[in-house]
């Protein structure tokens, strides 16, 4: 795992990932509550050119679509869901293929739906220092 000393490091990590993303890509964020998934997501949305003033958590909407600089971006939060079937009923598959880039918090609720080209990012709180996080990234 790699260290994120503070929120600025989390934002910088998101900004470094953004240029690698293309339509059809997915970023799957796993971590407990407070691990930094929403901070990372908002920073990635900004780095992808999303200009919307407010970037609300999609916890209740489940899918929040945006227009990025080069492609549309869907920020999703699957926390309240219990199965892949629930996501299929609301048409999630549209957002998991080109031209969309999907950013998903709590992807473990329906991992079977994740596309082949998914960056898996795990964020963990540091129990000794509350501003520090640890992360691991795989896939892509």
pLDDT band at 22 (very low <50, low <70, confident <90, very high): very high
Q: How much is the average pLDDT of 11-18? A: 97
Per-residue pLDDT of 72-102, as tens digits, reads 999 999 999 989 999 999 999 999 999 999 9
pLDDT confidence of residue 75: 97
**What fold, for 2-126?**
Rossmann fold (3.40.50)
| Cβ–Cβ under 8 Å, residues 115 and 39 | no
Q: Which of 98, 77, 76 is nearest to 24 (CA)?
A: 98
């Amino acid at each position: 795992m790699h260290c994120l000393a503070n929120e600025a490091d989390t934002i910088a990590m998101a900004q470094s990932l953004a240029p690698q993303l293309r339509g059809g890509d997915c970023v799957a964020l796993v971590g407990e509550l407070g691990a930094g998934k929403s901070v990372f997501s908002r920073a990635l949305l900004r780095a992808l050119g999303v200009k919307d003033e407010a970037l609300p958590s999609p916890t209740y909407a489940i899918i929040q679509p945006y227009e990025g600089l080069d492609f549309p971006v869907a920020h999703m939060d699957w926390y309240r869901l219990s199965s892949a079937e629930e996501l299929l009923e609301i048409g999630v598959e549209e957002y998991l293929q080109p031209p969309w880039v999907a950013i998903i918090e709590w992807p473990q609720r329906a991992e079977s739906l994740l596309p082949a080209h998914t960056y898996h990012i795990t964020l963990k709180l540091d129990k000794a220092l509350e501003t520090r996080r640890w992360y691991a990234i795989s896939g892509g």
